[in-house]
Structure formats: structure tokens, C-alpha cells
């Protein structure tokens, strides 16, 4: 059986293909699938140049923010950049501190502790900063839902500028300026910037006003890290920012990034978006999950080789610790869910669940069972939960319907978090489960696998892989191209890995033979029959130091 719902994207119309006759038909189809139907869109996407970037002054309240920050710079005020403890927040904080410092500003970072403070603006932290002489706080990657906190800070005489990219509520905090491309009155043409992307636009506006915009390129590596890690679509301006950021990382990485690449065993000069997603971002996140995110911030800011090496080693150790902890909590949460039966919405909770990994566990369970999933760290008085969802269920909208039960909530349609009085947890579970049961009734709860086009194994030979590289960087919104080949002969198939978790196959069609790997599919060995219909990406296998092209098999079913 198919393990996913296969959705073959419609073929490009003949008129479209005639317009792009200078491109190989396969590349033309891939561009069409990504919604690049206009000539200017295709050209700017393939060039990944500044045409994808808009003026920062098209963002709401940018003029007010720049005016207030200039006043602080001119009068030597103490400025705090208040960030978040994930990679997007850490890179945003580092970027804005560097940008303000380049303009002579007295800027210091503040990143809350995940375990003792939690996400977002906190009144206690703001009051402490004010008592220390801070007169201006600029948020990055947070603040858009902090109504009470901003109101209280304003009464105390503390000015706040908010830069954020999360979904705003109906009421916006009464800050000096609120910069968010998702605000209803925003004129910005691209709404999917990460928090670090919004922070970059603020620095760009400041630099432009002083004729310093050429210095902006020195910060774009931080934008690539935060944007890829936050899983925003790698289209539009994000495509440009990440591509340019990766070029900087590969050509001239800052000390901390270079040492992290070395410690992780990556090849210097060939770091791509996948390297960030699967290797670098988890290391940067490990500090905030198990200790304090300031360690990762220091790694990105240091000019000392010795400090960079020490911090990179420490982050590698913490990441290993995080992996082991995630495995342990995942097993406990999974056992709870199976004991209750597979419901439309999955919930697991425990007093011993570490806050630093509940989001990861929720994500793993949502992937495995294809259900919206909530994992909660319960406390005597207050509990905190992390949510991961599926496209068919908007989790932030669901939480907004339960706001009377919550002390705080925020996030996106697919990922969110909340805190609430523990006594309200059973009521929240009941209401969310009722919503999920209603909205998901009759829905085929298997992940949808979008397939770019149907090809033969011969069609993807030659320079196809190199041609596809022009569409990189790949990621959310611009996925690695997925192909379907039907009636492929299985020459050989065996399990691989220490526990037989994966499958290694040798596939043949029309005299063309390809090696393929199906990760985490070892349990489906009995379903392998020849011929097969297979869906796959193309990837380079670098095992043993050799670079060999192979099929990364995403799904398969016996041919009918």
C-alpha cells in the first residue's frame, strides 16, 4: 500500500512551455510547480538577486521605529535587543546587536531562559532592564502578542519597538512601533519573512538612512541560519536571503560558524540548506533546550578562535545529550498515546517532560501518526505545552478559540506553544479534541506527497541533477523535486543499518540501473514486489567520502 497520499502536480500548459522553450522541459515544469508563472518571477528566482527584496520602509511603522532608534543612538541611550531562545531568535538578536553596534549604539542582548522564564516578553525581565537604565527595548522574533507586558512597560516609561513575524492577534501591543509583515495594514509584498528577516529589514532601513547599506551583506549569513531553521518558505525574498547567506557561509564563514562546521564533520564550502536544518540548527538550538541560549549567541558573536572552538565543542556535547533525552521522552509520550488509542488529536503529558524537548517530541509524533499533537510539561500550578500540527488543522486558530483557558499562547498554523493554569488542562484537552474531531471528520489522515512529474529512470540521468541545482536552496515551500517512476524492476533489496531500519534497493528500468535508499522503511520489506511504482528525490551519497548520485526513495507501492 501507499504510505502517503500521492498528488501528482498538474503538467504545465503548452503556452507556458512555449514561453520557456530555452529551458529543459523538466526544469520548466519545476518552475511552474512553484508558482513561477511570470517571466519576471522566473528570472528573479533563478538569479536569486535583489529583485526579490523590497524596500524596508514598506513594512508598517518602519519610519517610527527608525526615528526612535536614531534618537537613542544620538543621545547614547542604553538599548536592549530582546530575543527568543531558538535559532531564529538567537540569530535575530546577534544580527540586530551587530547592526546597532556598527552605528555606534550601546546595545546589549537579552534572551530569556526557556526553563525559568519561558517564551516572549516578560514583565519581570522588562522591569529589571528598566531599573538597570535601559530606556529602549527592541524585540526580535517575539512580542506581537505581548499586550499586557507592553502596556505595563509603557506606564513605567520604557519604550518598546516590536519586530516579529508571528501571527498577530486582533489587538496589537501599544508599542512605539510594531514591525510585522503579517499585520493587516502591511504593504510589504512578502509576508513569510522569518524573525531574523524582519530584523534584517530594520537594520537595512537604519543603514540606508546613513548610506551604510554595503555593510548589510556581512550579516546575511545569520539570516540564512535563522530562516532555514524556522521552516519558513524558501520562496520570494527568503530564497534570495538564504542563497546569498549560504554563499557567505561557504566562502568566508564567521569564526563560530566555521568551528561548528568543523566539529560537525561537514565539508567546508559545501554547506547547503539541508546542512543547516539537520546539523547546524540542532546544535545552536541545543543550548536553549538544555541550558541557556546565550551560549549559542556568544558563538555567533565571538572573535576569539579559542572561545569559538570551546563553544562549538560544548554545543556538540549538548546536542548529543538533547538527542538522548528526546529519544527517552518520545518513548514515554508514544506509550501514553497508544494506550489511549489514536484519536483525531494526540496529547501526552508528564511532570518529568523537559520543556526543552517537548516541541521536538510533538513534531516526531505528528509526523509518525499524522495527527495534530500536543506534548505538555505539567506543573503543580502552571503547565506549558508545545503543539505541532498538520495542514488540515490550524493549531493557532484552535488555541485562539480557547484563549480564556490560557495564560499565554502564540505561534503559527503548524507550530505553537502555550502556558495555562494546570487546573485548566483537562478543559483545554476536551475542547481541542472536539474541534479536531469535527474538522478532521472524513479526512484521509495520511500525509500528502506532492510529486512534481512522472519520469523514467533514464530521464533523470545526465546533467539533470546539476540543472536542478539552479533552483536551490531547497526547503519548505521550495522542496527538493520529487519524481514518480512506474513499473520499475527491483533487482535487489535488503535492509541496512544496525537495526535494519532502512532499505537499500537496486532498481532497473529500460536498461538504466540506479541505487536507492528508503530511510526508516525497514519495516516495509515484505511489501517490496517487482515491479514497483516509486517516488523519490535525487541526492548525493557522501558516505565514505565519495559523492555518488542515488535515489532517496520517499514512498513506493507495487505496480498495478
**308 in the same domain as 375:** no
What is the predicted pLDDT for the residue at 278?
A: 94
Is the dihedral angle over the CA atoms 134, 140, 144, 146 positive or is it negative? negative
Identify whether the C-beta of residue 179 lies closer than 8 Å to the C-beta of residue 61.
Answer: yes
Backbone dihedral region for residue 288 (phi beyond 0: left; psi -120 to 50: alpha; all else: beta): alpha
Let me know whether 193 and 74 are in one domain: yes
Do 192 and 262 belong together in one domain?
A: no
In this structure, is residue 240 part of a structural domain?
yes
Q: Is residue 381 part of a domain?
A: yes
Q: Note whether 247 and 260 are same-domain residues.
A: no
In a domain, 545, yes or no: yes
Helix, strand, or coil (residue 550) = strand
Mean pLDDT of 405-432: 93
**Whole-number pLDDT of residue 447:** 92
User: How big is the CA angle at 377 (ends 371 and 379), to the nearest 5 degrees?
Assistant: 145
Query: What pLDDT, in 10s, does the model give residues 71-82?
Result: 999 999 999 999
Residue 25's alpha-carbon distances to 12, 435, 453, 539, 550, in angstroms, are 9, 44, 11, 20, 22
Check residue 1 and give its pLDDT: 43
Give mean pLDDT, residues 433-455: 95
pLDDT at site 424: 98
Same domain as 128, residue 229: yes
Final residue before a domain boundary, out of 222, 252, 282: 252
CATH of the domain at 85: 3.90.1640.30
The count of structural domains within the chain is 4
- State yes or no: pLDDT of 100 exceeds 80: yes
Q: Are residues 257 and 378 in the same domain?
A: no
Among 236, 252, 268, residue at a domain's last position: 252
Give me 438's grid cell: 469535527
Residue 469 is assigned to a structural domain of this protein: yes
Question: What does the alpha-carbon distance between residue 513 and residue 505 come to, in Å, rounded to a whole number?
Answer: 10
Question: Tell me, what's the pLDDT at 2?
Answer: 59
Confidence tier at 211 by pLDDT (50, 70, 90):
confident
Across the chain, what does the average pLDDT equal? 94
Looking only at the bridges linking them, the beta strands covering 453-454 and 159-163 are unpaired
Q: Decide if pLDDT at 319 tops 50.
A: yes
| Structural domain includes residue 24 | no
Q: What is the CATH number of the domain that holds 347?
A: 3.10.310.30
Least confident of 40-44, 174-178, 281-285: 40-44
Q: Are residues 107 and 227 in the same domain?
A: yes
Is there a single domain that holds both residue 259 and residue 284?
yes
Q: What is the mean pLDDT of residues 313-322?
A: 96
The model's confidence at residue 184, banded by pLDDT at 50, 70 and 90, is very high
Tell me what percent of the residues of the chain surpass a pLDDT of 70. 99
Q: Are residues 362 and 279 in the same domain?
A: no
- Report if residue 45 sits inside a domain: no
Strand, coil or helix: what is 365?
helix
Q: Are residues 432 and 458 in the same domain?
A: no
Residue 214, pLDDT > 90, answer no
What would the pLDDT profile of 353-409 be if each residue is shown by its tens digit?
999 999 999 999 999 999 999 999 999 999 999 999 999 999 999 999 999 999 988
CA dist 500 and 27 (Å) reads 36
> Are residues 492 and 420 located together in one domain of the fold?
no
> Prior bond to 343 cis, omega within 30?
no
Tell me the residue range of the domain where 434 lies.
Answer: 341-439
Give me the percent of the chain exceeding a pLDDT of 90.
83
Checking 347-351 for CB contacts under 8 A at 24+ apart, the result is 347/373, 347/374, 347/375, 347/376, 347/429, 347/432, 347/433, 348/373, 348/374, 348/375, 348/376, 349/375, 349/376, 349/377, 349/378, 349/383, 349/385, 349/425, 350/376, 350/377, 350/378, 351/377, 351/378, 351/379
Q: Is residue 395 part of a domain?
A: yes
Q: Which of 407, 439, 471 corresponds to the end of one domain?
A: 439
Q: What is the pLDDT of residues 507-553, one digit of tens each?
A: 999 999 999 999 988 888 988 999 999 999 999 887 666 678 999 99
- Domain match, 412 and 544 both: no
Q: Does 22 map to a domain? A: no
Amino acid at each position: 500500500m501507499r504510505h502517503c497520499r500521492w498528488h501528482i502536480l498538474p503538467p504545465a500548459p503548452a503556452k507556458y512551455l512555449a514561453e520557456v522553450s530555452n529551458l529543459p522541459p523538466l526544469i520548466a515544469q519545476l518552475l511552474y510547480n512553484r508558482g513561477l508563472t511570470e517571466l519576471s518571477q522566473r528570472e528573479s528566482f533563478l538569479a536569486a538577486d535583489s529583485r526579490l527584496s523590497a524596500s524596508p520602509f514598506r513594512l508598517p511603522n518602519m519610519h517610527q521605529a527608525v526615528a526612535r532608534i536614531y534618537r537613542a543612538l544620538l543621545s547614547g541611550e542604553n538599548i536592549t535587543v530582546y530575543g527568543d531562545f531558538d535559532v531564529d531568535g538567537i540569530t535575530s538578536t546577534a544580527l540586530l546587536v551587530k547592526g546597532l553596534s556598527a552605528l555606534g549604539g550601546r546595545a546589549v542582548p537579552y534572551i530569556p531562559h526557556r526553563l525559568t522564564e519561558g517564551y516572549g516578553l516578560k514583565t519581570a525581565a522588562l522591569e529589571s532592564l528598566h531599573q538597570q537604565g535601559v530606556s529602549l527595548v527592541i524585540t526580535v522574533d517575539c512580542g506581537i502578542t505581548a499586550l499586557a507586558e507592553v502596556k505595563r512597560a509603557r506606564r513605567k516609561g520604557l519604550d518598546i519597538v516590536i519586530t516579529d513575524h508571528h501571527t498577530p492577534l486582533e489587538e496589537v501591543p501599544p508599542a512605539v512601533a510594531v514591525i510585522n509583515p503579517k499585520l493587516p495594514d502591511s504593504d510589504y509584498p512578502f509576508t513569510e519573512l522569518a524573525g531574523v528577516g524582519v530584523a534584517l529589514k530594520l537594520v537595512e532601513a537604519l543603514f540606508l538612512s546613513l548610506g551604510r547599506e554595503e555593510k548589510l551583506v556581512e550579516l546575511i549569513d545569520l539570516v540564512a541560519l535563522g530562516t532555514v531553521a524556522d521552516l519558513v518558505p524558501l520562496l520570494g525574498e527568503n530564497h534570495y536571503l538564504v542563497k546569498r547567506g549560504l554563499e557567505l557561509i561557504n566562502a568566508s564563514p564567521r569564526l563560530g560558524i566555521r568551528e561548528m562546521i568543523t566539529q560537525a564533520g561537514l565539508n567546508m564550502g559545501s554547506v547547503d540548506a539541508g546542512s543547516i536544518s539537520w546539523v547546524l540548527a540542532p546544535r545552536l538550538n541545543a543550548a536553549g533546550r538544555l541550558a541557556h541560549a546565550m551560549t549559542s549567541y556568544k558563538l555567533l558573536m565571538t572573535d576569539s578562535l579559542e572561545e569559538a572552538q570551546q563553544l562549538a565543542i560544548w554545543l556538540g556535547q549538548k546536542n548529543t545529550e538533547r538527542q538522548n533525552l528526546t529519544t527517552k521522552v518520545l518513548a514515554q509520550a508514544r506509550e501514553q498515546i497508544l494506550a489511549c488509542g489514536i484519536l483525531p488529536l494526540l496529547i501526552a503529558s508528564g511532570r518529568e517532560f523537559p520543556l526543552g524537548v517537548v516541541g521536538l517530541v510533538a513534531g516526531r509524533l505528528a509526523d509518525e501518526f499524522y495527527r495534530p499533537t500536543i506534548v505538555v510539561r505539567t506543573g503543580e500550578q502552571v503547565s506549558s505545552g508545545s503543539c505541532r500540527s498538520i495542514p488540515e488543522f490550524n493549531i493557532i486558530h484552535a488555541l485562539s478559540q480557547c484563549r480564556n483557558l490560557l495564560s499565554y499562547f502564540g505561534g503559527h498554523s503548524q507550530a505553537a506553544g502555550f502556558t495555562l493554569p494546570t487546573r485548566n488542562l483537562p478543559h483545554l484537552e476536551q475542547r481541542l479534541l472536539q474541534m479536531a474531531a469535527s474538522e478532521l471528520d472524513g479526512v484521509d489522515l495520511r500525509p500528502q506527497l506532492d510529486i512534481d512529474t512522472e519520469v523514467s529512470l533514464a530521464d533523470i540521468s545526465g546533467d539533470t541533477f546539476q540543472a536542478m541545482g539552479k533552483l536551490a536552496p531547497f526547503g519548505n515551500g521550495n522542496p527538493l523535486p520529487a519524481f514518480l517512476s512506474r513499473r520499475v524492476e527491483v533487482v535487489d533489496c535488503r535492509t541496512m543499518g544496525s537495526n535494519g531500519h532502512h532499505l537499500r534497493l537496486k532498481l532497473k528500468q529500460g536498461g538504466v540501473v540506479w541505487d536507492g535508499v528508503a530511510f526508516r522503511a525497514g519495516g516495509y520489506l515484505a511489501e517490496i514486489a517487482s515491479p514497483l511504482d516509486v517516488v523519490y528525490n535525487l541526492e548525493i551519497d557522501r558516505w565514505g567520502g565519495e559523492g555518488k548520485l542515488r535515489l532517496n526513495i520517499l514512498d513506493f507501492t507495487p505496480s498495478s
